[in-house]
C-alpha cells in the first residue's frame, strides 16, 4: 500500500480516544458515537422492490428497517450511467461521477488507447500466486476488457466517508468492505480501508497487495475450510411454497436466460464444485449472498469490530440480486425469491451484530447502487408496445455512413468506438485532419439522434454551453461527465429501450440509463439514535456520506455534493 495511505490500528490512539470520550461532559456524552457503522448495499435494488415483497418477509431483516428505522422512499441518483461502480463510488463519496471520476464500469483511456476496467491497477497484483484475474464467466463486464492483473481504489478522484473516518481518528478506526464483486467492495473501503471480494476463478475471497503483503490467517483459514462445498451437488430451492409468491405461476418465461446447467425453472442446480461454472452459478443465486454474509461475520469476529469507543466501519455489498435481475428480470419468480432469501440473510446479519456489538451501538444504512428496468417482453405482455431491445451496432453503422455526407467525410475512422453510454471519437484522426472536436461531436450526435430509439445524444460541448432540452435527463448526463474519462457523445436511448447484450450474453434486463427506473433506490437508516419514520421528500444517495459524516462529527468527503439528512443527525 502507498505509504501516504498506510493505516495501522494504533492501540495507544484507541486508548487515548476511549479516555477522551469517557471524560466528555454529560451533554456530549449523550451523543456517544456508534461503535460500528454498518453500510449495506444491495446491488440493483430498485426503490419499490422491498415494499412490494414486505408482506412475505420476516421480522428481522427489511421489516426491522421499516419498523425501527427511517425510510427515505423518494431517493434518486442524479447521474446518467447507473452502473455498479458508479453507484458504489457515489455512495462512498457523496458525489457524482463528474467529480469522483468513476463514469462507468469501463471507460476508454485516451492515453493508453484501450478500454479500462474501473478498479484495475497493474501496480497492485492480486494476492496469492494461485489466484488469477477472474475470467470464468460471461456474467462479468471485465470480459470485454484486457484486464491488468491487479486491483486498487486509485482511480477514485475524491475521498470517501471511510477515508475521512480514518483521518479523523488518526488511523484507529477499523475499516473493511466485502462483496462478491471487486467493484462492490473497493470503492466503499476507499483509499485507507481493506477490501475483500469473491474470485470465481479460485472460489475464495481475495484481495490485492494494495491492502496486504500477505493474507491474515483468518482469511486463509476461512478459504481453506471450503464453505463452497456445502452447495456442491445441491440447488437453489424456493424459500416458501410456490403459491405464496406474486410470480409463482410465472416460473418459465421465454425471455429468461437459460444459463448452461442452471435452467429457467426451479430448482436451479449449482452442479458439482469441480464443474466449470460452479462458482459462477453460486453468484447467480442467494448462495452468493450467503457466502458474503459468512465471510463478513468471520471478519467482524476476527477483526473485533465495534469493540471499543472508536467507530469502526464495515461495508457489505450483496450482489446476487443484480445477477438474478439480469438473467430473469425484476418481475420474475427468481427475483422475488432472491429478495426474500436476502431478507433472511439480513435478519441473520442484524442478529449477529446485535450479539457481538449491540444494535444499540450500531448505525445501519442500507441503499442500492442503482435500480433496474423490467424485462421488456414482460412490459410488452403488460401492454407497453414501445418497450423493445435495441441494436446499437446498427445505429453506429448509420452514423459512420452518415458522416460521409458531412464536411468530415474524407476523414476515415473518426468514430473510434461505442462503450456504453459513450461514443468515443478518434482523437488522433481529428488532430491529423485538423478537425474541430466539438464540430465533429455535434455531427455525430445529430446522426445518432436520427437513429430510431435514441432519445438524445449529448456532446461534451452541450455539457458546457447548451441549455437543457430535458432538464432532468440532461442534468443526469452532465453529472456523469468527467473530462478525463467520459466519451465525446453520450447516447440516451428511449425509456424502456435498451441493449440486452451483457458482455456477449443476451439477458432479460440490464441497467445503465438516466431514466427513473434505474435511478430509483431505497435508503434506510436504523440503529443507534434513529427514530422510526417514512420520509417522502426528494433525497439522493449522495446524501448518505455527508449524513454519516455529520452524525459522527467529521468533515464530509472532499467532493461531496449531498446534504446531511436531518432525520439521521444526533438530536
Question: Do 426 and 374 have their domain in common?
Answer: no
Q: Residue 94 region, left (φ>0) first, then alpha (ψ -120 to 50), else beta?
A: left
Question: Do 338 and 477 have their domain in common?
Answer: no
Question: Do 309 and 411 have their domain in common?
Answer: no
Question: Do 534 and 484 have their domain in common?
Answer: no
283 occurs within a structural domain? no
Q: How many domains does the chain have?
A: 2
386 occurs within a structural domain? no
Question: Do 353 and 402 have their domain in common?
Answer: no
* pLDDT over 60 at 142, yes or no: no
> Where would I find the beta strands (DSSP E) of 235-376?
235-236, 268-269, 312-318, 362-367
At residue 504, the pLDDT reads 64
18 pLDDT tier (thresholds 50, 70, 90): very low
287 occurs within a structural domain? no
Helix residue ranges per DSSP H, 190-319: 217-224, 278-283, 286-302
Question: Do 28 and 111 have their domain in common?
Answer: yes
219 pLDDT tier (thresholds 50, 70, 90): very high
Q: Which of 92, 89, 85, 93 is nearest to 142 (CA)?
A: 85
CATH of the domain at 407: 3.30.1360.150
CATH of the domain at 20: 3.40.720.10
Range(s) of the domain holding residue 458: 391-452+454-493
Q: CB within 8 A of 349, min separation 6: which ones?
A: 40, 293, 296, 297, 316
Question: Do 191 and 53 have their domain in common?
Answer: yes
What value, to the nearest 5°, has the Cα angle with vertex 463 and ends 114 and 514? 75
What is the mean pLDDT of the segment spanning 30-51?
Answer: 92
Question: Do 479 and 527 have their domain in common?
Answer: no
165 occurs within a structural domain? yes
At residue 19, the pLDDT reads 41
360 occurs within a structural domain? yes
223 occurs within a structural domain? no
CB 492 within 8 Å of CB 473: yes
Q: Look up cell 469501463; give the residue.
A: 106
At residue 131, the pLDDT reads 46
At residue 112, the pLDDT reads 84
* pLDDT over 50 at 571, yes or no: yes
CB 548 within 8 Å of CB 37: yes
Question: Do 333 and 470 have their domain in common?
Answer: no
At residue 549, the pLDDT reads 98
How far apart CA 563 and CA 552 sit, in angstroms, is: 14
Question: Do 307 and 446 have their domain in common?
Answer: no
pLDDT in tens, 316-354: 999 999 999 999 999 999 999 999 999 999 999 999 999
In this structure, what are the phi and psi dihedrals at residue 455, rounded to the nearest 5 degrees?
-75, -50
142 occurs within a structural domain? yes
At 104 the three-state DSSP class reads coil
At residue 505, the pLDDT reads 75
At residue 412, the pLDDT reads 87
Q: Which of 103, 240, 144 is nearest to 501 (CA)?
A: 144
Question: Do 104 and 130 have their domain in common?
Answer: yes
Q: Which of 206, 167, 126 is nearest to 4 (CA)?
A: 167
At residue 466, the pLDDT reads 61
pLDDT in tens, 397-417: 999 999 999 998 888 899 999
336 occurs within a structural domain? yes
| Cis ω before 267 (30° cut-off from 0) | yes
Question: Do 181 and 326 have their domain in common?
Answer: yes
Q: 135-139, 200-204, 301-305, 374-378: lowest mean pLDDT where?
A: 135-139
What value, to the nearest 5°, has the Cα angle with vertex 288 and ends 287 and 291? 85
At residue 139, the pLDDT reads 52
Q: 126-130, 307-311, 470-474: lowest mean pLDDT where?
A: 126-130
* pLDDT over 70 at 172, yes or no: yes
Q: CB within 8 A of 6, min separation 6: which ones?
A: none
Amino acid at each position: 500500500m502507498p505509504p501516504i495511505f498506510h493505516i495501522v490500528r494504533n492501540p495507544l490512539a484507541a486508548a487515548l480516544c476511549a479516555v477522551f470520550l469517557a471524560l466528555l461532559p454529560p451533554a456530549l456524552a449523550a451523543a456517544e458515537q456508534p461503535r460500528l457503522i454498518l453500510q449495506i448495499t444491495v446491488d440493483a435494488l430498485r426503490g419499490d422492490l422491498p415494499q412490494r415483497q414486505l408482506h412475505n418477509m420476516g421480522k428481522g431483516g427489511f421489516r426491522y428497517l421499516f419498523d425501527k428505522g427511517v425510510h427515505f422512499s423518494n431517493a434518486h441518483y442524479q447521474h446518467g450511467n447507473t452502473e455498479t461502480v458508479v453507484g458504489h463510488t457515489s455512495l462512498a463519496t457523496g458525489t457524482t461521477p463528474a467529480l469522483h471520476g468513476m463514469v462507468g464500469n469501463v471507460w476508454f483511456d485516451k492515453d493508453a488507447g484501450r478500454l479500462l476496467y474501473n478498479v484495475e491497477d497493474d501496480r497492485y497484483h492480486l494476492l496469492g500466486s494461485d489466484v488469477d484475474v477472474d475470467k470464468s464467466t460471461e456474467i462479468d463486464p471485465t470480459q470485454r476488457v484486457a484486464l491488468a492483473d491487479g486491483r486498487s481504489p486509485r482511480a477514485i478522484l475524491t475521498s470517501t466517508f471511510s477515508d475521512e473516518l480514518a483521518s479523523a481518528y488518526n488511523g484507529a478506526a477499523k475499516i473493511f468492505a466485502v462483496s462478491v464483486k471487486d467493484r462492490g467492495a473497493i470503492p466503499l473501503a476507499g483509499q485507507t480501508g481493506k477490501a475483500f471480494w469473491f474470485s470465481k476463478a479460485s472460489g475464495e475471497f481475495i484481495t490485492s497487495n494494495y491492502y496486504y503483503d500477505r493474507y491474515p490467517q483468518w482469511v486463509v483459514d476461512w478459504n481453506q475450510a471450503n464453505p463452497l462445498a456445502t452447495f456442491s451437488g445441491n440447488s437453489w430451492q424456493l424459500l416458501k411454497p410456490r403459491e405464496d409468491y406474486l410470480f409463482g405461476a410465472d416460473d418459465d418465461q421465454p425471455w429468461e436466460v437459460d444459463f448452461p446447467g442452471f435452467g429457467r425453472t426451479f430448482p436451479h442446480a449449482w452442479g458439482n464444485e469441480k464443474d466449470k461454472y460452479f462458482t459462477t452459478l453460486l453468484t447467480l443465486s442467494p448462495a452468493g449472498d450467503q457466502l458474503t454474509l459468512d465471510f463478513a461475520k468471520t471478519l467482524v469476529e476476527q477483526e473485533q469490530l465495534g469493540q471499543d469507543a472508536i467507530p469502526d466501519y464495515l461495508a457489505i455489498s450483496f450482489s446476487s440480486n443484480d445477477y438474478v435481475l439480469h438473467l430473469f428480470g425484476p418481475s420474475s419468480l427468481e427475483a422475488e425469491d432472491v429478495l426474500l432469501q436476502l431478507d433472511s440473510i439480513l435478519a441473520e446479519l442484524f442478529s449477529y451484530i446485535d450479539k457481538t456489538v449491540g444494535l444499540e451501538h450500531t448505525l445501519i444504512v442500507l441503499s442500492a447502487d442503482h435500480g433496474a428496468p423490467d424485462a421488456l417482453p414482460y412490459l410488452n405482455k403488460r401492454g407497453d408496445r414501445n418497450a423493445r431491445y435495441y441494436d446499437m451496432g446498427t445505429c453506429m453503422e448509420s452514423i459512420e455512413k452518415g458522416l460521409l455526407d458531412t464536411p468530415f467525410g474524407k476523414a476515415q475512422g473518426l468514430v473510434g468506438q461505442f462503450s456504453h453510454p459513450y461514443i468515443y471519437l478518434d482523437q488522433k484522426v481529428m488532430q491529423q485532419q485538423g478537425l474541430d472536436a466539438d464540430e465533429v461531436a455535434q455531427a455525430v450526435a445529430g446522426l445518432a439522434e436520427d437513429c430510431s430509439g435514441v432519445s438524445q445524444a449529448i456532446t461534451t460541448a452541450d455539457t458546457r454551453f447548451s441549455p437543457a432540452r430535458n432538464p432532468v435527463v440532461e442534468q443526469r448526463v452532465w453529472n456523469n461527465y468527467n473530462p478525463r474519462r467520459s466519451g465525446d457523445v453520450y447516447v440516451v436511448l428511449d425509456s424502456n429501450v435498451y441493449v440486452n447484450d451483457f458482455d456477449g450474453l443476451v439477458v432479460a434486463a440490464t441497467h445503465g440509463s438516466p431514466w427513473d427506473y434505474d435511478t430509483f433506490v431505497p435508503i434506510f437508516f436504523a440503529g443507534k439514535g434513529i427514530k422510526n419514520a417514512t420520509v417522502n421528500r426528494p433525497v439522493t444517495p449522495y446524501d448518505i456520506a455527508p449524513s454519516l459524516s455529520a452524525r459522527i462529527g467529521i468533515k464530509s468527503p472532499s467532493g461531496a455534493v449531498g446534504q446531511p439528512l436531518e432525520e439521521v443527525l444526533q438530536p
